[in-house]
Amino acid sequence: MVVLKYNANFDLKGSFMSDKTTRANIVEAADQLFYRQGFEHTSFSNIANVVKISRGNFYHHFKSKDEILAAVIDFRLEKTRKMLDQWEMDGESPEDRIRSFIHILIVNRDPIMKHGCPVGTLCSELAKLNHASQAEASKLFTLFREWLSRQFVQLGLEEEADLLAMHILARSQGVATLANAFGDEAFVEAEVKQMCDWLQTQITRTVK
């Protein structure tokens, strides 16, 4: 494992490895700022202030702002994949794993109330900007969609799996949007409970 990691870095040596820390800092700072302020409303100065590097120096790491966005989306995709893999390992049953998904709304309740869902708000913004990375951002949704779909398949709901996946994906999105608009914690909790109940209904429906 350690060797693998070392090799992986070694392969990227030269143009990459030495500035990896700075590059990573930029991506992580941009990730947070894009989430909290939106992509368009975040300037190079904003990111530079956080990372504490000069504006001009930026273009040694990224050719353009769009390239930073692409890197941020990749970063989020990777983070999400890891999280889903983790859930796959931790969750004892498919319903457990789906419950993990539903409970993001609780775990991330505070940031969601302040800034909405990082996936949904990014996709919405890029749609308005008609941005080239729009499709790439939607892959974040696809990641969840396919993962959820797989869980439903494992529950023996092959035929409806994708629709069921889209269903809770949509409900999570809706809850995030309203939580952001109203700042109502109780509503979030109530909806999470309902979604878990709904999940139970789907499962018992299988048994029949």
SS3 40: coil
Judged by CB under 7 A, does residue 6 bind DNA? no
* Choice between 23 and 69, CB closer to its own copies: 69
Task: Tell whether residue 201 is a contact of DNA (CB under 7 A).
Answer: no
Place of tokens 């949704």: 141
Could you tell me if 39 and 69 are in contact, meaning their C-beta atoms sit under 8 angstroms apart?
yes
Work out how close the CB of 140 gets to DNA at its nearest, in angstroms, rounded to a whole number: 22
Q: Contacts with DNA in 133-162 (CB under 7 A)?
A: none
DSSP state letters, 134-157: HHHHHHHHHHHHHHHHHHHHHTT-
Contacted entry of DNA, its own copies, none for residue 7, CB cut-off 5 to 8 Å set by kind: none
Q: Select 22 or 138, whichever has its Cβ closest to its own copies.
A: 138
Partner that binds at residue 167, options its own copies, DNA, none, CB closer than 5 to 8 Å by kind: its own copies
- Amino acid 184 reads D
Q: Which residues contact 14 (CB under 8 A, 6 or more apart)?
A: none
94 binds its own copies (CB under 8 A): no
> Which of 6/59 has CB closer to DNA?
59
Closest CA to 106 of 157, 162, 176, 52: 176
Q: Kindly report the CA angle at 169 between 167 and 99, in degrees rounded to 5?
A: 95
Which among its own copies, DNA, none contacts residue 18 (Cβ within 5 to 8 A by kind)?
Answer: DNA
Query: How many residues appear in the chain?
Result: 208
Q: Which DSSP state fits 92?
A: S
Among 65, 103, 150, 171, binds its own copies (CB under 8 A): 171
Amino acid at 105: L
Q: Which stretch binds DNA (CB under 7 A): 11-19, 97-105, 142-150, 199-207?
A: 11-19
- Span near its own copies by CB under 8 A; candidates 15-23, 61-69, 93-101, 174-182: 174-182
The mark string for 42-81 relative to DNA (x by CB under 7 A, - otherwise) is xxxxx-----xxxxxxxxxx-xxxx---------------
Contact assessment for residue 145 and residue 168, using Cβ atoms and an 8 Å cutoff: no
* Cβ closest to DNA, residue 24 vs residue 178: 24
